[in-house]
Amino acid sequence: MAYYERRGEAWRAQIRRKGFPTLSATFDTKAEAQRWAAGIEGDMSRDRFVDNREAQQTTLHDALKRYRREVSDHKKGARQESVRIDRWLEHPLAAKSLAAITSSDLAEYRDARINDGAAPATARLDLAIISHLFTVASKEWRMDGLNNPCKNLRMPKGSNARDRRPTTAELNKLYAAAANIHAELPIIIELAADTAMRRSELVLLRRDQIRGKVAYLEDTKNGERRSVPLSSRARELLSSLPLRIDGRYFSLSPQTVSNYFPLACQACSITGLTYHDLRHEATSRLFERGFSLMEVASITGHKTLAMLKRYTHLSPDGLAEKLG
């Protein structure tokens, strides 16, 4: 028989039946609790019962640590995801069991995160970790029947695509300021705005990856190999760098470049520009040079046309020139 108890804003359902373990779960409404209990009792009657005690005994804190160890650490974006997991581990929800977390809990987290100034995309990525964790727990950790509270959750709408492009004057000032921070930094910045390579693809580039006029990238963000044609200016910049024993072009790490870039912008009073905007700049330049959609996608590595569109911001002055 099922029993229902209101706890604050949530409802707790408990099932006690002879021959079966005592089960309980928490829901946003009594109706949801009743549907869950009816389904469990029906499965018990039809010998299709699935024991969810492990989900009741596993806290989100423990599940997140296991998720990081078994899933996140094997992703290319492991470092960024680890930062998000650390934030979750410090949140009060981490103390609750997986079976007790409701959609309302996560909705409150979503709203509080955005009210604290986080971008909608940031809140969405935070929730994506929880959603995938529940999927993995249900499919791979033998927590059959575990309800994913993100399933019916309204995700934050994405923010508008960035359209910030540096002017030629800004770039020249940026090169000069960057040179005062590190000799390699202005070259990295100019190459980023010319090749559309991602930060790690460019900074970790090795000499054996350059053959003729092409850079052959093996370890890309989406896991697929990519060939990037190099302009004469890009080849000139790379050839100007001294030979290194390790075969790399640059001594700086990707994270150091990310740390140095805002310092260079600040030194020359450039506002509203991020390192990632350089990839937007390079992509837009490719279209302005007359490359087709498929040609640009093959160079930049974008998997969908929708994402490629977000990275493309054609100069209105250039478009006006074409109109005559």
Which member of 17, 65, 91, 276 is catalytic?
276
H-helix or E-strand spanning residue 33: helix 30-45
Alpha-carbon gap, residue 175 to 180, rounded angstroms = 9
Written as one string, the DSSP assignment of 62-125 is HHHHHHHHHTGGGSTTHHHHHHHHHHHHTSGGGGSBGGG--HHHHHHHHHHHHHTT--HHHHHH
E-strand ranges in the chain read 2-7, 10-15, 23-27, 210-211, 214-217, 226-229
Q: Which of 165, 173, 285, 302 is labelled catalytic?
A: 302
Q: Which of 221, 235, 248, 310 is catalytic?
A: 221
Residue from 168, 217, 212, 201 nearest 317 by CA:
168
CA dist list (Å): 135 to 85, 88, 138, 144: 16, 17, 5, 10
Query: Annotated catalytic, 206?
Result: no
Task: Enumerate residues 6+ apart whose C-beta is below 8 A from 92.
Answer: none
SS3 27: strand
- 4 assigned to active site: no
Per the residue annotation, which of 198, 199, 280, 285 is the catalytic one?
A: 198
Based on the residue annotation, tell me whether 311 is a catalytic residue of this protein. Answer: yes
279 is catalytic: yes
Q: Count of H helices and E strands in the chain?
A: 15, 6
Sheet containing strand 23-27, strands side by side? 2-7, 10-15, 23-27
| CA-based radius of gyration for the chain | 26
Q: Given 113, 124, 182, 279, which residue is catalytic? A: 279
Beta strands 210-211 and 226-229, pairing class: unpaired
Which is catalytic among the residues 199, 280, 311, 313? Answer: 311
Residues with catalytic roles = 198, 221, 276, 279, 302, 311
